[in-house]
Every structure is written in C-alpha cells, then in structure tokens.
Amino acid sequence: MPTPFSVDEFAHKIDSLYRLVIVAARRANQIKTEAHGFVGASRARKPTIQSLEEVLEGKVSYTTSADDEENLLDAAE
C-alpha cells in the first residue's frame, strides 16, 4: 500500500493546493492514456499516486501567465 502524502510535502513544490490538484489530475490522465495498451504494467501503481510522486520529484512542471489572472478578474466583474 502506498504511503499517504501530506500537504506539507508539497509546500515548496507548488504554490497552492488547488494548483496541485489540477496539475496532478492532468498528469494522471496523461499516464492513464499512455498506459492504455499496457494493462498489466498500469496496474502496478495508480496513476494518481504516480503523478503525485512525479510532482514531489520535480518531474512535472506547470506554467501560468498574466493573462490567466486578467481573465479571472474580467470574469468576476
């Protein structure tokens, strides 16, 4: 059984818990799609656990832009 993760482990990797959920979910979907043809290999670890491990190891990155914040502010008005 995998070791449960603590939110504190991700404090220096990602700026918010919400971004962690989005990044890890997108990566888990990629892993699931890539492993679609390899049923035996994909059952070894769940894609969600693998994606969180990759975030901790620094293998997964993300980008944001100023446009994201501007669009958010425009939608709120």
How confident is the model over 48-67, as pLDDT tens digits? 999 999 999 999 888 877 66
pLDDT of residue 42: 46
Of residues 7 and 1, more confidence is placed in 7
The predicted model scores a pTM of 0.69
Phi-psi region of 58 (alpha: psi -120 to 50; beta: other; left: phi over 0): left
Residue 66: Cβ-neighbour burial (10 angstroms; 0-12, 13-18, 19+): exposed
Please write the tens of the pLDDT for every residue from 14-45: 888 899 999 999 999 999 998 765 555 545 68
End-to-end CA distance of the chain: 47
Of residues 70 and 55, more confidence is placed in 55
